Amino acid sequence: MNALDIQLEKQEQLIKKLKKRNNELQRFYDEYKRVCRNEEERIKELNCLYQVAQCVVVENDIDIALDRIVRIVPHGWQFTTQTCARITFKNKIYLSPDFFESRICQSENIYIESRIMGAIHVFYKTEVGAESNNPFLIEERNLLKGIANIISFYLEKLRDNENRKIIQQQLLHADRLATIGQLAAGVAHELNEPLGNILGLAQLSLKLPGLPIQAEKDLGKIEDCVIYSREIIKKLMEFSRQSQLRKEKIDLNELIENSITFLEARCIKEGIKIVKEYTGNITVTVDRHQIKQVITNLTINAIQAMKNGGKLLFTTRKNSKNAIFCVEDTGIGIASENISKTFMPFFTTKDVGEGTGLGLSVVYGIIKNHNGDIKVSSDPGKGTTFEVCLPLEKN
C-alpha cells in the first residue's frame, strides 16, 4: 500500500464517520422536532381544556355554553382545520362551523348523575389518518374525555341550582300554606257566605218600589263594596292555593291608577292628599290582579296610619333591572321593634275588626312570587315608606 492509498482509506473512514454522525444528528433533530410538536400539541390541548372550563364557569345559559364549547373543541385537535365537532344534549344539537359528519370519528357520552344525557363527537372531515385503526392520538381521546367530564359537571351544577330554586320555592310555599294559607282560606270561606247574603239583600232592596234616591245610591255603593270584597276573598283563597300567575305586560303607572281610584274618595274624606310622582314608560310583566292587591293593601295601611289626615305619595321609577314603586305616608309610623314583624302573618297593631294582620304577608308572598322584593322603612311619628321592586323582563 502506498502512501496515497493509505491517505484515501483514511479519508473514506472519515467520510463514513461523518455520515454516521450526520445520520445521528438527523435522528436527533427529528426527535427534537417530534418533541417540539408534541409540546405544541399539549399546549393546544391544555388551551382547549382551559377555554372549555372557562366557558362553563361564566355562562349560565346552557345553549350559549354548549354552542361556544362545540366551536372551541376543534382547536384542541392536531389537524384543527380538518376537525369538526357535534354536541347532542336532550333534543338539541350543537355543531362547530362547517360541520361535516365523516366516518372518522371519536365520541364520549355526557352524563348527569350516571345517566347518559347526550354525547360529544369529533370528526375528521377528510381522510386524515383513515388508514390506521384509531386515527386519533391517545392524548386527543383523553382530551375528549376531559371535555365530556367538564360538560357533565356543568350540566349537573345547573340542574342542582334549578333543584335548589324549586325546593326553596316549595319551602316558601309550604311555609305560606302552613301559616296564612290554611287559616286565611278558612276565614275567607267563612266570610264569603255572609257577604253573599249582604249582596243578595242589597240587590233585593234595590228592586223595592219608591226607594228614596239617597237609599238607592247607598245600596248601590254597598253592592259595589261587597263585590269588591268578594273579589279580594277570592284572590286570597286562590293565592293560598298558589294560583298560577297570569302574567301580562302592563304599564305600571296605569296599574297604580286603576288600583287606587276607588280609594281616592275615602282619602278626600279623611283629609289625605294624594300626590303622584310617576316616571313614564315603565312596563312590567305581572299578574294584574295580584299586583293590584299589593297596591291596595299598601294604600289601605297608609290610610289607616293617617287618622288625622296627611300626605300619601305614590312614586314610580326604574333602573336597569327593576321597576320600582313606593307608597309613602305621613302617618304614625312603625315602632322600630315592630319593623321586622310587619310582614309576618297575623301581626297587627290594630283593633279587632280593623286589622287581621294578613295584608302585608299576602303582599310579601305576591312580590316574592314575582321574583321581586319589598322593603319597609319608617320614622315613628313621621311616616312610613314601602318600596316594591319588580324585575323588568329582559328583551
Ligand X SMILES: Nc1ncnc2c1ncn2[C@@H]1O[C@H](COP(=O)(O)OP(=O)(O)O)[C@@H](O)[C@H]1O
Q: What residues make contact with Mg ion under the rule CB under 5 A?
A: 301, 359
Residue 363 CB, nearest approach to Mg ion (Å): 9
Closest to ligand X by CB, 48 vs 362, is 362
Given a contact cutoff of 8 angstroms between Cβ atoms, the answer to whether 86 and 96 are in contact is yes
CA angle at 98 for the pair 93 and 101, rounded to the nearest 5°: 60
Residue 287 contacts which entry, ligand X, Mg ion, none (Cβ below 5-8 A, type-dependent) = none
User: Per CB under 6 A, which of residues 49..78 are in contact with ligand X?
Assistant: none
Sheet holding 92-95, edge to edge: 92-95, 83-89, 115-124, 105-112
Residue nearest to Mg ion as judged by C-beta position: 359
CA 341 to CA 290: how far, in whole Å?
22
Give the number of other Cβ atoms within 10 Å of residue 338's Cβ.
14
143 contact choice in Mg ion, ligand X, none (CB below 5 to 8 Å, kind-dependent): none
* Smallest gap from residue 306 Cβ to Mg ion (A): 14
Could you tell which of Mg ion, ligand X, none binds residue 334, using a CB distance below 5 to 8 A set by kind? ligand X
Selection from Mg ion, ligand X, none that 349 binds (CB < 5 to 8 A by kind) is ligand X
346 binds, among Mg ion, ligand X, none (CB under 5 to 8 A by kind): none
Contacts of residue 34, defined as CB under 8 A and 6 or more positions apart, other chains included, come to none
Q: Residue 42 or residue 375: which is nearer to ligand X going by CB?
A: 375
If the CB atoms of residues 301 and 369 are measured against ligand X, the closer one turns out to be: 301
Q: Tell me, what DSSP letter sits at residue 75? A: G
Q: Are 72 and 51 in contact (CB under 8 A)?
A: yes
Closest CA to 357 of 373, 341, 380: 341
99 scored as a contact of ligand X (CB under 6 A): no
Residue 286 touching ligand X (CB under 6 A): no
Cell of 47: 388551551
**Closest residue to ligand X, Cβ-based?**
359
Identify what 106 binds: ligand X, Mg ion, none; CB under 5 to 8 Å per kind.
none
Which CB atom, from 118 or from 359, has the smaller least distance to Mg ion?
A: 359
Could you report how far apart the first and last alpha carbons of the chain are, in Å?
A: 99
Using alpha carbons only, give the angle 337, 341, 343 rounded to the nearest 5 degrees.
145
| Residue 351 Cα distances to 59, 64, 191, 355, 356, angstroms | 53, 56, 18, 6, 9
> Rounded to the nearest whole angstrom, what is the least distance from the CB of residue 310 to ligand X in the complex?
10
Binding site partner of 315, from Mg ion, ligand X, none, Cβ cut-off 5-8 A by kind? none
If the CB atoms of residues 333 and 359 are measured against Mg ion, the closer one turns out to be 359
Distance between CA atoms of 378 and 332, rounded to whole angstroms? 9
Of 124 and 364, which has the nearer Cβ to Mg ion?
Answer: 364
Q: State the binding partner of 226 from ligand X, Mg ion, none, CB within 5 to 8 A by kind.
A: none
Complex with Mg ion: residue 118 or 345, whichever CB lies closer: 345
Helix (H, G, I), strand (E, B) or coil at 324: strand
Distance CA(49)–CA(39), nearest Å, equals 15
- Find the binding residues for ligand X in span 299-318 (CB under 6 A): 301-302, 305
Q: Give the whole-angstrom CA distance, residue 192 versus residue 111.
A: 53
| From the list Mg ion, ligand X, none, partner contacted by residue 348 (C-beta under 5 to 8 A by kind) | ligand X
Of 99 and 347, CB closest to Mg ion: 347
Cβ-based nearer residue to ligand X, 76 or 310: 310
Q: Tell me the C-alpha distance between 386 and 324, whole Å.
A: 10
What 3-state class would DSSP assign to 345?
Answer: coil
Give the nearer residue to Mg ion in terms of CB position, either 102 or 349: 349
Inter-residue contact 155 to 112 (CB < 8 Å): yes
Minimum Å gap between C-beta 356 and ligand X is 5
The residues in 327-386 that bind ligand X, with binding defined as CB under 6 A, are 329, 331-334, 342, 347-350, 355-361, 384
CA 288/CA 286 separation, integer angstroms: 6
Residue 379 cell numbers, joined: 320614622
- CB 355 to Mg ion: min, Å: 6
List contacts with ligand X (CB under 6 A). 297, 301-302, 305, 329, 331-334, 342, 347-350, 355-361, 384
